[in-house]
Structure 1
Amino acid sequence: MTLLHVSSRLLATAALGAVLMTAAPAVAKEKAAPAAAPAAKPELGMFGFDIAGMDSSVQPGDDFYAYANGTWAKNTTIPADKSNYGMFTALGDLSQQRTREILDAAKADPNSMIGRNYAAYLDGAAVEAKGLAPIQPWLAKIRTVDKPGLAVLLAEADRSGVQHFFGGFVGQDDKNPEVYIYTLFQGGIGMPDRDFYLKDNERNAKLQAAYLKHLENVLTLAGEANAAARAKAIYDFEKQIATVHWDKNDSSDATKVYNKMTIAELAAAAPGFDWATFIRGLGVNEDSLLVSQPSAFTGEAKLLAEAPIAVIRDALMVRSLDGFSGVLPEKFAQESFSFYGTALSGTPQMQERWKRAVDFTTGNLGEAVGQDYVAKYFPPQTKAAMDELVKNVLGAMGRRIDGLAWMQPATKAKAKQKLANFTTKIGYPERWKDYSKLEIKADDLFGNALRSNQFAHDDNISRLGGPIRRWEWGMTPMTVNAYANFGMNEIVFPAAILQPPFFDPHADPAINYGGIGAVIGHEISHHFDDQGAKYDETGKLADWWTPADVAEFEAAGKALIAQYDAYEVLPGEKLDGTFTLGENIGDLAGLTVAYDAYKASLGGKEAPVLGGLTGDQRFFLGWAQVWRRNYRDQNLSQRITTDPHSPSIQRTWVSRNLDPWYKAYQIKEGQKLYLAPKDRVRIW
């Protein structure tokens, strides 16, 4: 998952499919003369759904995920180079292969920037021959930095793409969205979340030992002496930093993280570090900035002031070698993967070099690659069909707002205005990023990585003082994902997700509405979830709900939190309903709104029965199919701590809150997913 501005939400997903079979339990018998499937054949099965992947031995009311996907789950092996596998990863593989074909053709052209970048990565022999020589000038700076020079060095690290003790970016000012501002956020730890350092359990104990060994191994590979003791000092320092970090729930709260300060005010609140030199070294000339977690900066500045410079140097050295491991000799890539891929996520095998080369090129030059990708793989008719679907789902959301019993009329009017102000981006940017100032060489992989990082940093900083770039995208067309951006009041759907099973123009509409329709509804609803609802129709962080609205909304949210808190995903590991609330609201609202849109699309007519399934049954199966995903236990455990999305099984189960799901499958009291009508959470 990509890190966007705190006011941007991303949708993460998964699943796979194919073929058809006979109906499973709780499906309707075919009526007199069922209408034919769509004229053009869909990619999956008879009407766009993989019936063969269902498990008819499971009752929908006991486990809807297993009913819809059980046979697929049993028969699908996670590839050795993946921590999980499902629909999103399957489409990701397809996108990667298609991009490879584009880059293989481009690498023969010396005038192709994307070709040179790709060729440089593929030339592993050249990387091995150079060894650590390309990064040595940077490591030399780290080895000789003193406390007075630390602020200058960290600014250079930021520009070079090296993560350190805090990070930042230029984004919209949440309370003045027509202006860009620089935002600082906490950093300084090498594991994904403070909980990995601070929560005592068997899983974390193993990860801590593996991470400590990783720190030692990186120092050893770099030729450093006394690596074990130095690694322990780094780990102890990071654990101190973890103690001052905000937790994930506070860090996800748009109101709590909005803290505007001048540089002088930050210096007074977090003494012990030269903030002015650091901020100016980034290229930021404005005096105001946003500090996401003020108390964390107070704590980190104190720790930096007190820590031995040798420990700070070593921490920066490891972070640099890890960050650039993919463009250094293979032993560094393998070592980084051994912790972040295997120990943390359970992935046994690193990706082949061509796959890493594709990812590296799309990471550096995504929109340059994207132009060729959409020309080849995203036909205009797909964009047009998606446009129509989005309009229908937006219309359904508007009707939902009109019908809310708990929302006050004045708030409804503002909500409708916000909906009317939405921008929808489909497929690819209308204006492509200009990479002409970026130098890419076919024989300089490390230099390409460094210059690309510097280019991205400088481009980000150049936003300051300029107009809002409403044409920009936070994802490439090849990304199998979608997102909502609160400040821009937009929803965005890259080309690569607009494929089966999410969307197939030739599939039965019920499948499309249950798949991409619910994804559209999910992203729309993010603008009205526990954080998105804090932004008004202009994208401004503002109080526009009445106290009565807020009370009703929070009560429904608490019920959804309790529902997800009860799910034990692994033995002894339950979901955090508060942390996942925004995404769970997105799933609940998205499915609800997509269902309304589907019913409206029928124009009052009854949907045909196809393959022994009613329209409503197919709609909910379309939802369940896109969430197919098998996880390695380590990856699933990590996600419980770090991913604001619930795992796929629990995402599928959100259907238990919708009355039509009960009617479609004749769900009865006593079945495991049954909720009494009064206990079904209804928000939108």
Structure 2
Amino acid sequence: MIESQPMKRLLVGAAVAAMMYAGSTNAHDEPEDVCLDEACEQISLFRQVTPALAPSGFVGTVAPRYGTWGFDLEGRDLSVAPGEDFFRHANGAYMDALVIPADRTRFGSFEILRQLSDNRLEAMMARLVADTAADPASDAGKLANLYRSFMDEARLEALDAQPLQPMLAEIRAADSHAALARLMGARQSGFGSSFFGFGIADDARNPDRYAVYVSQAGLGLPNRDYYLTERYADKKAAYQAYVGTMLGMIGWDQPEAMAQAILDLETRIAEAHWTPVESRNRDRTYNPLTPAQLIESAPGFDFAGFMDAAGLTAVNRLVIRQDSAMPRLAAIFGETPVEVLQAWQAFHTADDAAPYLSKRFVDANFNFRSRELAGQPEQRSRDKRGVSFAEGVMGEAMGRLYVEEYFPPESKARMEQLVANLKVAMANRIRGLQWMSEATKVEALAKLEKFGVKIGYPSTWEDYSALEVRPDDLFGNQARAGAFRWQDQLDRLNGPVDDEEWSMTPQTVNAYYNLVKNEIVFPAAILQPPFFDPSADPAVNYGAIGGVIGHEITHGFDDQGRKSDGDGVLRDWWTPADAAAFEAQAARLGAQYDQYAPLPGFNLQGALTMGENIADLGGVLLALEAYNLSLNGQPAPVLDGVTGEQRVFYGWAQVWRGALRDEAMKNQVATGPHSPPQFRVIGPLRNIDAWYEAFGVRPGAAYYLPPEERVSLW
């Protein structure tokens, strides 16, 4: 998902399709772009960036502006023809001046707004901490005490590894495979790991109830490719060294030998894992079993003990995602010596806990997880990480304060109208499809009609009254937050599905489509320039936020979203001929993306990024059609020599301004469902006839595609 923010609750499988791509490569560390992937003074967003990059009128907590009518004309590179590289043509001068701040792995339009949110949250946190009279049991008091616990460095240094000792003692006492399986279940809510990931989410076949999903797990590197392909061999070696370092820091016996054993174990686990492409396929990842059937099919692991310790004893139905991996993972667990499993669990416990311990743990974790894996030169300052920590624990409490201060009601009304316009455009396009039969069109239009829309913030806020927070216990606060979140999931099993819940906080710079709820969601923080500017030219807004809206609508009809109906039920509502026609076109689009290489030797995986690529293409097409409909037959004005349709395409391109460090890009190629920024511009536009007409792109241009090779889905 696009800069990833902390989600309110765990979402499993293909429940959410997000607009952006992950902003952090480290699932263990506090992500770079939320608190998930900053202190009390208001600072310039561009304090570490070339001054020329600062949008006109931008201040620390004030949204940026772009040009006189919503697009930064000065950011273009007119020496590059549109057909040679439209990303450079639209953004080249800006990109040449762009400097990624030392405490980030990427920077661009999304990160600018994320840092704007951070600046605002810092200012809010300053007020919360200054209010010493606040009730410590209130949300405001808990947020302030979360921050205080993170900032108490003297106490953290004095404690050093002490908070870990009870957990390490439990691991040493778990001297059998059965005991270790139970321990993994007990750690479901906190620090540590398991070979199997259990989570609770809406049931894809029955969206009115919740289901317990079981997924493959057990790796410490981003995915199986890091263990099994030569191009990540340096990361694998660095990981082994990091494992040894962490085991040594906690006083584990034979740290170097155990680091080798752990790497060997995780390599076996990686061999059993499905590929990311296989794990996208919703037809294959919905496999209901009873716990007894899982136990019978995957001997070697005590699932009954795990589930009992995790609080899942009463569960009588599971949905297995990577079903063929389960027997292999269980067998690997059963064949691995107890002392290796103990060391493996000790390492993962320390690795998870490191950001909440003393400086030596924080630094070791950062040096591997952020510097080595993502290329981030510097750690963010502690005060910024402190605000992010509090936000990560109580995201909606921070979000409520954010909305009260920074989200104008008129933005919600304008968005509702834009969404309505984009839905009209989508309905028109469905009716006009030449390759789709009338029977399937009826189903598609019915699904579109049932789309839910959420804008800005949730109608009800999460209740944190059961969460205990102490001002002097960072480690304990994080552990209790994990237990609170897991108990929140367990409590869902006995009640109806919460249709009002959000999977992102209002201060998240992102948007998403929920497959099972059949809804599109736009948090408050994305409804700002360059995505949405009430004073901008309508064509730019259509290309930017209109493209985002269209992107999320199209997710309901991408290669996986199309498999659910208007009620969110995973079922096949396509005629065989229509499904075959869609898949053939999608395969052609995937083949295009396979050819794109953001770094030498690191080609994109068109099958992995398929859903997002389809959504990007659909998003731009819908934005363009909706803009033309909004003209009501009148000619579009020409502004500074730029036509209306050109402004739509420029609006889309401006949204994707951004750069990644090389290591972050390598991670993106291996694990990310989204294409890198430049190909989110180039990839869809070269398939759109109107783009060729708007910019006069002719045969011979680098990205010219003959009409018969252009892909048309929605």
Q: TM-score, normalised by structure 2?
A: 0.91
Amino acid at match of 1:338: N
Answering whether residue 168 of structure 2 is matched by residue 139 of structure 1, we say yes
Residues 427-457 of structure 1: CA distance to partner in whole angstroms, max 9, x if unpaired?
1111000000111111111111000000000
Change (3 A) 1:389 1:18: farther
Partner of 2:33: none
Whether the 8 Å contact between 1:18 and 1:51 is mirrored in structure 2 is no
Partner of 1:32: none
Amino acid at match of 1:80: A
Which residues in structure 2 correspond to 1:520-669 (within 5 Å)?
Answer: 520-653=549-682, 654-669=684-699
Partner of 2:97: 75
Q: Distance in 2 between matches of 1:157 and 1:124?
A: 26
Whether the 8 Å contact between 1:171 and 1:181 is mirrored in structure 2 is yes
Whether the 8 Å contact between 2:419 and 2:549 is mirrored in structure 1 is yes
Which residues in structure 2 correspond to 1:149-188 (within 5 Å)?
Answer: 149-188=179-218
Answering whether residue 32 of structure 2 is matched by residue 10 of structure 1, we say no
Answering whether residue 314 of structure 2 is matched by residue 302 of structure 1, we say no
Q: Distance in 2 between matches of 1:119 and 1:641?
A: 37
Q: Distance in 2 between matches of 1:526 and 1:667?
A: 29
SS of equivalent to 1:168: strand
Residues 618-668 of structure 1: CA distance to partner in whole angstroms, max 9, x if unpaired?
110100011111111111111100001111111101111111111111111
Whether the 8 Å contact between 1:161 and 1:454 is mirrored in structure 2 is no
Identity percentage over the alignment? 45
Deviates more, 1:273-282 or 1:208-217: 273-282
Partner of 2:419: 390
Deviation at 1:42, TM superposition (A): 8.6
2:123 to 89, 101, 104: 101
Change (3 A) 1:165 1:594: same
Runs of 4+ in 1 over 3 A off after TM superposition: 13-20
Q: Distance in 2 between matches of 1:144 and 1:283?
A: 21
Q: Distance in 1 between matches of 2:603 and 2:540?
A: 31
Residues 134-179 of structure 1: CA distance to partner in whole angstroms, max 9, x if unpaired?
2211111012212221222111111225332221211111111111
1:236 to 243, 264, 274: 264
Partner of 2:706: 676
Answering whether residue 62 of structure 2 is matched by residue 49 of structure 1, we say no
Deviation at 1:283, TM superposition (A): 1.8
Whether the 8 Å contact between 2:435 and 2:578 is mirrored in structure 1 is yes
Change (3 A) 1:411 1:18: farther
Which residues in structure 2 correspond to 1:364-375 (within 5 Å)?
Answer: 364-375=393-404
Partner of 1:267: 295
Whether the 8 Å contact between 2:201 and 2:213 is mirrored in structure 1 is yes
Q: Distance in 1 between matches of 2:631 and 2:54?
A: 26
Answering whether residue 355 of structure 2 is matched by residue 326 of structure 1, we say yes
Deviation at 1:411, TM superposition (A): 1.2
Q: Distance in 2 between matches of 1:454 and 1:331?
A: 26
Q: Distance in 2 between matches of 1:586 and 1:373?
A: 29
2:88 to 56, 66, 82: 66
Whether the 8 Å contact between 2:13 and 2:321 is mirrored in structure 1 is no
Q: TM-score, normalised by structure 1?
A: 0.95
Partner of 2:408: 379
Q: Distance in 2 between matches of 1:218 and 1:151?
A: 23
Q: Distance in 2 between matches of 1:360 and 1:320?
A: 18
Answering whether residue 247 of structure 2 is matched by residue 219 of structure 1, we say yes
Partner of 1:194: 224
SS of equivalent to 1:569: coil
Partner of 2:42: none
Residues 258-302 of structure 1: CA distance to partner in whole angstroms, max 9, x if unpaired?
010000100011101111121232222221101111221111111
Deviation at 1:362, TM superposition (A): 1.2
SS of equivalent to 1:279: helix
Deviation at 1:19, TM superposition (A): 5.8
- What are structure 1's unaligned runs of at least 5 residues? 21-40
Amino acid at match of 1:6: G
Q: Distance in 1 between matches of 2:654 and 2:460?
A: 34
- Size of the alignment, in residue pairs? 662
Partner of 2:285: 257
Deviation at 1:611, TM superposition (A): 2.0
Residues 507-554 of structure 1: CA distance to partner in whole angstroms, max 9, x if unpaired?
111111111111111111111000000001110000100001101101
CA RMSD of aligned residues (A): 1.6
Whether the 8 Å contact between 2:178 and 2:305 is mirrored in structure 1 is no
Deviates more, 1:589-598 or 1:1-10: 1-10
Residues 591-610 of structure 1: CA distance to partner in whole angstroms, max 9, x if unpaired?
10111011111111111111
